Amino acid sequence: MTDLPLILFALFVLIPILEIATFIQVGSVVGLPMTLLGILLTAIIGAVLVRQQGFKAINDARENMAQQKSPVEQVIHGAFILIAGLLLLTPGFLTDTIGFLFLIPPLRLSIARKVWSWMKDNQTIIINTQTTSGSYQTTGRENPDGSVIDGEAVEVDTTEKPANPTTPWQPPHKDS
- With 0-12 / 13-18 / 19 or more C-beta atoms within 10 angstroms meaning exposed / middle / buried, residue 92 is buried
Tens of pLDDT along 45-97?
Answer: 999 999 999 999 999 999 999 999 988 889 999 999 999 999 998 889 999 99
Distance CA 97, CA 46 (A): 10
Question: Cα–Cα–Cα angle for 127, 130, 132, nearest 5°?
Answer: 165
Q: What is the pLDDT, as a whole number, of residue 107?
A: 93
Three-class DSSP labels, 59-80 = HHHHHHHHCCCCCHHHHHHHHH
Q: What is the pLDDT, as a whole number, of residue 80?
A: 94
Q: What is the pLDDT, as a whole number, of residue 7?
A: 84
Instruction: Output the pTM of the full model.
Output: 0.63
Q: How many CB atoms lie within 10 A of CB 91?
A: 14
